[in-house]
Structure 1
Amino acid sequence: MKRYFILLFFLISGTILFQGFQCASPEMTTAKLAFRNNDWQKVEEFAGKEIAKNPKNGEAKFLLSRAKIKLNKTEEAAKLILEAEKLPLEPEIKQQIPLTKFLIWTNAFNTGITHFNNYMANQNKLLLDSAIYYFKIGQMIRPQNAEFDRLIGRAYEELANEEKAMESYLEYAKKLKNDLDWAKNVGVFLKMPRKDLASKIGKAKESVGDRLGDDSVLTDVYSAMGRPIYIYYSLDEKNEFIVEGWRVNPPAEWLENEKTSYIPLDVNPFAFLAQSYFNRAVAIRDNQTLDSAKRVAGINENLEKAKDFTKIITNIDPTNIDANRFLISLYEAQGKSDEALAEIGKLVQKEPENKFYLAQYGELFLRLNKYDEAIEQYQKALKIDPEFCDVNRNIAAAYKNKAVAIIQFQEDKKDKDKNFKENPEEYKPYLVQSADYFKKARNCEKYKNDLQVLSELANLYFGLSNLGMNTKNDLNLIVDDLERLEQSIPDNEKEVYWLKMCKILGDMNSPKAQRACQEAKKYLK
């Protein structure tokens, strides 16, 4: 489970200068002196007495708010500073309001994160209530900061309160709309290399580096049409900076280091919303008490919402395979596969060199069993990036499926015409290419020990061997790799593992097949 980081900021708080005490009440004078002496309980007592006598004294509320911060009474501090800033204040006090608000919301944020992380460690759900409480305090001070909505929604997810989680995540999406629209319009997305972004929108006017835990992070500051734009990066496994998030025109009242502070954009709230709306569509479909017209309208309304939130993910995280597949499934559920092709086709037309859009296009064609079209798009993507792991894996599947379709066609024809002769040369080249691409996919750590990729290679090498190709040694090496996987296979995947091994070893007439098949039976449900 993901652990969240506490915000760290470095500020020069400055000295608070007060006007002379000669016109102040005894309570106010005592509160100011106590403030200078860091006697926070006395500040609390006498500033409180002053406010009771004079509720319009903004300076007293400011002093009391600062004391409440020191006394860890964060909610009271938040309410007081919001009241104080609406009242007449001397300039030297007024200029301290932004810093005070900053201290309150960061304190609330960090306390909430601590409670949330403690919950993740011991699963005590009371800690989630505390986390939500503090996040809502932070939200009082920074209502425009979508991060609080995300964190509150995440806590409600853990509490299995779908309605509250959706409510918070919808606010998250609403507050990020301008950021998301900007990214879509200029073609910026998550995991985009910094150098690629610079080629799109130019050189940053300023860069701010920092560290988060053991990781190096970076913020670039841009200006477009008079609006400041902050781009956040982290280092990837190649030691290159990649985009992790952005903010467009954050509120002017925020301190500059708030704006430059690294905040990654999280797609999980959009995934939760998409899945929730899809689940609602399914529930309506299964509700036989509704009349047909209401069911159809309800299903389509929720599927459209599911599509909208899934599209947000595919726009800003085009490498997200699960989101791409889910979006295709949603179109298919509505019988609108052609509409999906048209939409992704427009993206490809707009940015023909965008390997991620090409990969999405290929994925859709593959799902629609249009193998030639899928292969065409995948080849274009690989021309841009020959080491594109997911595309190497998917084009391998496309070639295999094309070969299987030809085999099925020949078998059907033979069933109808006993004189028909099957021609392996029509499909063998596609099996060879499939094996080559699966092998190339294994160069990536992601697929090096992937059970599906290894079993596909084993089946391909076995089939090619039967077609007269010298692939027996390749087959044996793959089987060795599969056998080495045994100890690392999770319990919930062992049934699949042993079923695959039973078939592969059985096809090879290996003496090890008997054990594999026996193990498979143990896990059969």
Structure 2
Amino acid sequence: MKRTATFLLLIVITATFMFTGFQCGTAEMTSAKLYIQRSEWENAKIQLQKEIAKHPENAEAWYLLGQVFHEQKSYKEMVDAFNSSLKINNQFKKEIDNYKLSVWANNLNKGVDHYNKAIQMLQTSPDSADTHFNTALDYLNIAVAAQPDSATNYRVLALCYYGMRDMDNAIVFLKKTLDKQFDVQLGRMLGGIYYDRAIVAKNNAATVEGDEKKKILEIANKNLNETIKILEATSKVTPEDPNVLAALNDAYIAAGRTEEALNSYKVAIKTDPTNKLAHYNYGVLLLRAGNHAEAASQFDETVNLDTNFTDAIYNAAAAYMQWGAKMREQAEAAIQNDKTKQIDKAFEEKFRKAKTYLDKLVELTPNDISAWETLGMANAILNIPKEAKAAYDKADSLRKTK
């Protein structure tokens, strides 16, 4: 009886080893490996798919199937097969990582190459550029499948879509890139897309009324808020970048966030005192706010930096004219109830300063009717009737020739 039990146990153990051996070396696996040695990739794939259908937990079968897909350049399927192997165990992780890295580098480089060719042809041959852009996208999508955590993949994808003027997809991949690795250039690019959309919406809103206008303005404001959010983040990374500051200031102004714009221009001027546009735009905001003294100071600095900047010259004259008018009004009010007092003529200094700028302006823009009329007004206030008449006459003659 004891011998019988021992014999039966041996039979069970033998059967177990036979079964285990069958699993590790099935006919499908044996055939697949043979086909792989012969580079008969399609036949190998068929055998491996049969094996996986029977034994879906066979990590080696999935790994070998990934190899076959690699040889067939079916890279998406390769990645899926490799990932299935890794879900079971890490037996082939090192080999799989090497395959993925090779596929990623190869396809990323090809994608970048086609992107560069597209950019070179964008102006001279748009159709050829589109072909290269689309080819680049094909390669880059494979690179993403092989290394989904690489920020470089998404960066080049974003640039491709931007070059193709597909801004919806550009936004998607710009955001993905910035989430993984912040990039000042891409931050400016994303902010620029939102800003352009906001301005288009604002222009469209100006042509309609009622609920439609309200709806379009909501779209504009939403895009401006996105612009400001991304540019503020970009500015924190590079607080002294004049281009970022200028873009952020434009967004603040468009959004009606004047106080933030004023503070931002202060930073821009402190960062680069020679930035004439920062001085000029800061002056424009101050003039709108009725701060004539500070506005005039900013325009003075702008003209010092660029003596032929006609817009700055015009606004400098406007600032001094408005400042002078306000001072004259205050001076007249001060003597209104006491006729024995002499009027304080300090305001004349501001009008003389305005006249200096206006004389320069009509030299640079001799056909500017508004400049001649304002010069005539300044001369009249300063009691220079002959020059006032000459300026008004010039404005009239220009108006008649229009």
1:421–1:88 distance in 2 versus 1, CA, 3 Å: closer
User: Which residue of 1 is the match for residue 66 of structure 2?
Assistant: 65
Deviations 1:401-438 (A, max 9, x none): 58983698489989x99xx799999999x9xxxxxxxx
Matched, 1:146 2:141: no
Distance 2:353 2:209 in 1: 53
Paired position in structure 1 for 2:272: 359
Which has more strand, going by share of residues?
A: 1
How has the CA–CA distance of structure 1 residues 336 and 293 changed in structure 2, closer, same or farther, with 3 Å as cutoff?
same
Structure 1 residues not aligned, in runs of 5+ = 1-19, 181-188, 191-263, 349-354, 378-391, 431-458, 464-525
Aligned equivalents of 1:397 and 1:328: distance in 2? 21
State the distance in 2 between where 1:27 and 1:309 align.
56
DSSP 3-state at the match of 2:88: coil
Q: Which one-letter code corresponds to 2:97 in the other structure?
A: P
1:95 to 1:46, Cα distance in 2 relative to 1, 3 A: same
Q: Residue type of the partner of 2:162?
A: E
Kindly provide the CA deviation profile for residues 424-455 of structure 1, in whole angstroms up to 9, marking residues without a partner as x.
99999x9xxxxxxxxxxxxxxxxxxxxxxxxx
In the TM superposition, what is the alpha-carbon distance from 1:372 to its structure 2 partner?
8.8
Indicate how the Cα distance of structure 1 residues 266 and 311 shifts in structure 2: closer, same or farther if over 3 A, else same: closer
CA distance in 1, matches of 2:83, 2:146: 8
**1:302-381 matches, cutoff 5 A:** 302-318=223-239, 320-342=241-263, 358-359=271-272, 364-369=278-283
Q: State the match for 1:129 in structure 2.
A: 134
Given candidates 293, 306, 329, the residue that maps to 1:397 is 306
**For the Cα contact (< 8 Å) 2:62–2:82, is it kept in 1?**
yes
TM-score (norm 1): 0.45
Q: Distance in 1 between matches of 2:47 and 2:305?
A: 75
Match of 1:518 in 2: none
Match of 1:207 in 2: none
Q: Does structure 2 retain, via aligned residues, the 8 Å contact 1:156–1:162?
A: yes
Residue 17 of structure 2 aligns with which residue? none
How far apart, in 2, do the equivalents of 1:133 and 1:395 lie? 54
Kept in 2, the 8 Å contact 1:21–1:29? The answer is no
Bigger Rg over Cα: 2
CA distance in 2, matches of 1:275, 1:426: 36
- Structure 1 residue 36 displacement after superposition: 6.6
1 CA distance for matches of 2:59 and 2:111?
28
User: In the alignment, is residue 272 of structure 1 matched against residue 201 of structure 2?
Assistant: no
Contact 1:314 1:323 in 2 (8 A): yes
Instruction: Describe the shift of the 1:29–1:360 C-alpha distance in structure 2 as closer, same or farther (beyond 3 A).
Output: farther
Q: CA deviation at 1:338?
A: 1.7
Which amino acid in structure 2 is aligned with residue 26 of structure 1?
A
Specify whether residues 329 and 266 from structure 1 end up closer, same or farther in structure 2 by C-alpha distance, changes over 3 A only.
Answer: closer
Separation (CA, whole Å) in 2 of partners of 1:81 and 1:65: 5
Give 1:99's aligned residue: 98
SS of the equivalent of 2:252 reads: helix
Question: Structure 1 residue 68: deviation in Å?
Answer: 2.4
> Contact conserved, 1:65 with 1:81, CA < 8 A, in 2?
yes
Distance 1:96 1:87 in 2: 15
Q: Does structure 2 retain, via aligned residues, the 8 Å contact 1:31–1:47?
A: yes
Q: Give the share of equivalent positions with the same residue, in percent.
A: 20
Give the TM-score of the pair, scaled to structure 2.
0.57
Aligned residue for 2:170?
Answer: 165
Q: How big is the shift at 1:28?
A: 1.9
What is the CA distance between 1:105 and its match in structure 2?
2.4
Q: CA, structure 1 residues 374+404, in 2 after alignment: closer, same or farther (shift >3 Å)?
A: closer
Q: Please give the secondary structure, in 2, of the residue aligned with 1:85.
A: helix
> Following the alignment from structure 1 to structure 2, what is the Cα–Cα distance between the partners of residues 74 and 149?
18
Conserved? CA contact 1:344–1:361, under 8 Å: no
C-alpha distance 405-150 of structure 1, shift in aligned 2 (>3 A)? same
Letter in structure 2 aligned against 1:74? Y
Rounded to whole Å, the distance in 2 between the matches of 1:135 and 1:104 is: 11
Q: Distance in 2 between matches of 1:134 and 1:315?
A: 34
Question: Does the 8 Å CA contact 2:161/2:169 hold for their aligned counterparts?
Answer: yes
1:324/1:375 CA distance change after superposition, 3 Å: farther
CA distance, structure 1, for counterparts of residue 98 and residue 223 of structure 2: 44
Matched, 1:26 2:31: no
Q: Deviations over 1:107-138 (max 9, x none)?
A: 33233333334444454324433322332232
In structure 2, the residue matched to 1:230 is none
- Say if 2:59 and 2:85, in contact at 8 Å, map to a contact too: yes
Instruction: Read off the aligned partner of 1:268 and give its amino acid letter.
Output: M
* Cα distance in 2 between the residues matched to 1:43 and 1:302: 54
Map of 2:382 onto structure 1: none
Q: Which residue of 2 aligns with 1:299?
A: 220
Listed as ranges, the gaps of 5+ residues in structure 2 are: 1-20, 287-291, 329-344, 365-402
The one-letter code of the counterpart of 2:316 is A
Partner AA of 1:366 in structure 2: Y
Kindly indicate whether the alpha-carbon contact (under 8 Å) linking 2:28 and 2:47 is maintained by their aligned counterparts in 1: yes
Residues 292, 22 of structure 1: CA spacing in aligned structure 2 closer, same or farther, 3 A cutoff? closer
**What SS is found at the alignment partner of 1:86?**
helix
Measure the CA separation in 1 of the matches of 2:295 and 2:35: 74
Structure 1 residues 427 and 70 mapped into 2: Cα distance closer, same or farther (>3 Å)?
A: farther
How far did residue 34 of structure 1 move? 5.8
